[in-house]
Each structure stands twice: as structure tokens, then as C-alpha cells.
Amino acid sequence: MRLSWHEYGCLIAASASSRSEDPHTKVGACILNREGRIISTGYNGLKSGISLPSWMKEENNRQKKRELMLHAESNALSLINKGDGETMCLTISPCFACAKDIVAHEIKKVFYIKQYDQCDKFKELFDYYGIYYKQINSDSIQKIKNHLISWIQ
């Protein structure tokens, strides 16, 4: 059961999310070039060298924490040149600000595992600029899970 390129990218994005220190939402990104090769990964978190303060772990501070976290998409895009990436795979669909960065970097396709519950405005932007986007289906998610299970058993 071989994973498709976008399933593979989503698996790598999920793996990248494990590096996030965000106690509430771990987000990962993976950028593939035209040949399907990984050219960048990223995860949400604070700037390197900054430790997570205890107040960010509290549920009632989630909104403020969300505003200060650097996003997985931005971190992944910061490591590539404009036009180098073909496909971005994400654990969660992008916020509107990240969607604009995706457009600016000339990414052509975006796949994501889950819909971001705070925003779906990215769809309007991607439709306008002709960027293909799709939430992966339950069959793809099951293929990814089965692949992981086969490795850890």
C-alpha cells in the first residue's frame, strides 16, 4: 500500500508537528517540489531560543498564545525560494494570513488533514488565485494510519 505524494506529504507534516511546543494545537507543514521531493518542513512554535512561558499553557490564554505563535506554514515557506514549491501538505488548513504567504510563494496545490475551526477564508483566496486545495479523505487518513501501524508493530 504505497502512499500518494500528497499522503506522504501529510504524513511528513504530521511528523513535523511533533516538534511543536504548543500545548493545545500542534501543526505541521511539508513542502514538496514538482518531483514530489521534500524541500521544506515546518511546525508552529515560538522563535528559536524562546521558551514557552507557563501562561501559554493555560486554556484561558489560548487566543493570546495563538497570536504569538509562529505558524508552521510560515516556518516552512521561510526555508524555500519563491516558485520552488509545488505542493504544501498540512495537518490543519491554513489561516488567511498563511494562505496569502502560500499564494506569494507560488505554491500550486495545498492538501490538509483537518479543517481549521477558526477560519476557512483561505478557500476564497485560493479560488481567486487558482490554487488547488483539498482536505484528504478518510481513505487517505486510514492509509497513513495503517502505514504508521505497520512500522511500530
Asked about 73 being catalytic, the answer comes back as: yes
Catalytic-role residue among 58, 73, 86, 124? 73
> C-alpha grid cell for residue 59?
486554556
Predicted local distance difference test score (pLDDT) of residue 150? 87
**Sign of the C-alpha dihedral, residues 32, 34, 39, 45?**
negative
What is the pLDDT, as a whole number, of residue 140? 95
Rg (CA), the chain: 15
- Predicted pLDDT of residue 132: 98
Report pLDDT digits (tens) over 72-83: 999 999 999 999
Is the pTM of the predicted complex or chain greater than 0.85? yes
Please check whether residue 110 is in contact with residue 88, taking contact to mean a CB–CB distance below 8 angstroms.
yes
Separation of alpha carbons 41 and 56, rounded Å: 24
152: pLDDT strictly greater than 90? no
Report strand pairing: 38-43 vs 109-114.
unpaired
Phi, psi dihedral angles at 79 (to 5 degrees): -100, 0
47-72 average pLDDT score: 92
